[in-house]
Amino acid sequence: VKSPAAAVAIALGVLIAGVVWFFATQGTGRPVTAVVGSARHIVTLTLGSPRSGDQTVTVQVTDRDGNPYAAPSLAFTAVLPTMGYSSPAMTAVATQGAGHFTAAGVELMTPGIWQFQLSLPDAAGKDQVIVPVSVTG
Amino acid sequence: MRMIMGLRRVLLPAGLVLTAMLTAATPALADGSTAGADVSVAQSLGGRELTVVLRRITSIPGPLHVDVISHAGSPGGVLRLSVSPTGPGNPSAGRPASGVVTSRGSVTLSGTPGAFPAVLTVDRAGPWELTVDDGSQLTRIPFQAYGQVTSPPDKAVYAGFSVAGLCLLAGLLLVVLLGRTRWLAVVAGGMVSGIAVAVTGAILSASLPLPPQPGTQVDSTVQNATDPYAGLGRTGDYSRPPAMLLLAGTTLPTGTATTVGLRVADAATGLPVDDVVVHDSALMHLMIVGPGGGFWHLHPARIAPGRFAFTFRAPQPGHYAVTAELGRRGGGVQMLRSPSGLDATGNATGAADPAPMTANQSRAIDGTTVQVALPIPVAGAPSTLRVRVGDAAVLQPWLGMLGHLIVVGPMPSGGDTGNAAQGAAVWSHAHAMDSQTVMAGGDGMAMEPMVPMAAGANGESLPDETVEAYGPTVGFTFVFPLPGIYRAWIQVERRFGIVTVPVQITVVTA
């Protein structure tokens, strides 16, 4: 480098790269996956984009030994406790084989920590798993 | 050469400043589990009144030290303890999913009051449940294991000093080894920028508010477990709707220990409330006023999400008014008065409840001399009640406080206290906190040491109830909203037993 101008250009380049890196790693819109277990089941819930609006929820359910939860559909509600809001009962249908369920168009109308409350009845009776997910604006 | 000398003049002080900043900034970092102090949880489990103390967790994975403190009159026996994680996990974490027991232990109560220790293991940060099982009833106590958290200003400090250090090194290499002085502007600029960022971060680090705390303020999620600063804007208002108290049954026989179920439901959605946090050292404070003026202060066991249970033996037939105090995650401590209460049928058992103390008098209660100083309060103006329990400073903090005052009224003098309490306009719970209240009497009840009210930094914890060092006088200041006759009960802990002092106060119109 032969001139101060070039040095300044390099410094600016480094600065811009840093800013781009900072925002690229914030990534609030990337899918989020959470695993929550009960005594009998393990739920792996993925929210396509943890932002408010209509979202797609995919759920994988197994028993504690890893066997898929064999049911044609899964009943759940989306609850925002801080607002005192509960969605109507919704259904995720088995789409990609046993134990995999998908629900599209789940309306998360405002940011907050939402709870997906899933009912998992089986031969032993009722079971419920609650999966909390942070949803941003 | 002059250039190098000049550089040295700049770099040497810069290096010293940098070293000083690095060492000086460290204590100010908001690293670590500042929220992780000891947690005391009172539990009325079966026939025992216990306090379960979860000591501060200092490393994860690491030990969880639990002390079970038994009270006078609690029988000996074995309590089985276990912990299970309850929160959401990351699929790549490689640990078993939450919902199953990961560690077990037990304590053997000797029958003598005191603290009985056990050690369990926690393997991850996030929400947990400690189950205490006496063989016939169990309680599930939620608690939070806090992991290490680096705040954004702390990250700026680390990044800034790293950049400054690299620039310093690069500058030295360029000038000393390669003789390239033209680069100095860039390198020195980078170093100054790095130090500026780091110093700004260090100054902000100590004063910026903490992010919403998973467990006490917001639900734990996968996102806030790894970075509580991520995602949500910090509005400062995390409160939830009020709760409703539902008694499973409203009748019980006299003289028989009966398990009464309670449900707590959200007033907006009707869903079970499973976000009850430890408030005043208990998940729920249940207060019962009986027909003969008897008073019970119980801490129901949490048997399932939104479901509690307590064991109650009603001595006399009649109505028992029931009120619960609890706090939900996000703030908002609330008092839930059961609209039904409990009705006991059968014959009276045991001795009649002692009459309330009505003036400045003394009386032996449970073998201890109790002296009360009751003012004649004016409605709407603060008045101070004081009580001296025994002669020595051996009172123990109970539920984090030196004393508790429960005031119910106005009500008719004498008669059925349970029914009167059910419909009473005022139902309050005040705490004894300061020495000023005791001093205000000016009648020779001397100033005593008081329980510290705030935990220190770095996870220091308040004295628990094994510390017998306070009192013997406690004072309460309360503003009676309405004139009339009030029943009140003052409670303190002495020699691991709860002393309950019944009083009656007549409040006059201004």
Radius of gyration of chain A, Cα coordinates, nearest whole angstrom? 21
CB spacing of B183 vs A7 below 8 angstroms: yes
Q: What is the mean pLDDT of residues A58-69?
A: 93
Binary contact (A37, B99; C-beta < 8 A): yes
- Say what the pLDDT of residue A25 is: 66
Query: Is residue A100 pLDDT above 90, yes or no?
Result: yes
A82 to B268: CB separation less than 8 angstroms, yes or no: no
For residue B389, what pLDDT is reported?
A: 86
CA B488: distance to chain centroid? 24
Q: Is the pLDDT of residue A42 over 50?
A: yes
Residues A83-93: tens digit of each pLDDT: 999 999 999 99
Q: Least CB-CB distance to A79: which of B218, B231, B269?
A: B269
Burial code (b: 16+ CB inside 10 Å, e: under 16) for B316-325 equals bbbbbbbbbb
Question: What pLDDT band is residue B23 in, cutting at 50, 70 and 90?
Answer: very low
Please give, rounded to a whole number of angstroms, the shortest distance from the CA of A83 to a CA of chain B. Answer: 7
Q: What are B359-412's pLDDT values in tens digits?
A: 788 888 888 888 888 888 999 999 888 888 888 777 888 887 888 999 998 998
pLDDT, residue B234, reads 54
Q: Is the pLDDT at B442 greater than 90, yes or no?
A: no
Return the ∠ at Cα B419 (arms to B416 and B421), rounded to 5°. Answer: 100
Residue B35: predicted pLDDT:
54
Confidence of residue A26 (pLDDT cuts 50, 70, 90): low
Residue B419: predicted pLDDT: 94
d(CA B346, CA B359) in angstroms, rounded, equals: 34
pLDDT interval class at B460 (50, 70, 90)? low
* Average pLDDT over every residue of B209-216: 82
Of B96, B186, B239, the CB nearest to A10: B186
Instruction: Give the pLDDT mean for B207-229.
Output: 81
ipTM: 0.84
Measure the CA–CA gap between B353 and B315, rounded to whole angstroms: 9
CA distance A97 to chain B (A): 20
Write out pLDDT tens, residues B338-352.
999 999 999 989 888
Q: Are B130 and B140 in contact, with CB atoms under 8 Å apart?
A: yes
Angle at A61 between CA B90 and CA B97, to 5 degrees: 35
CB hemisphere CA count around B377 (13 angstroms): 27
Residue B322: predicted pLDDT: 96
Cβ neighbours of B219 in A, within 8 Å: 81, 113, 115, 132
Per-residue pLDDT tens over the stretch B289-324: 999 999 999 999 999 999 999 999 999 999 999 999
State residue B447's pLDDT score. 46
Would you place residue B29 in the very low, low, confident or very high pLDDT band (cuts 50, 70, 90)? Answer: very low
How far B86 CA sits from the closest chain A CA (Å)? Answer: 7
Please identify which residue in the block is written with the tokens 């609006």: A53
The reported pLDDT for the residue numbered B13 is: 52
Mean per-residue pLDDT over chain B, rounded: 83
pLDDT higher than threshold 50 for residue B439? no
Mean pLDDT of B264-273: 95
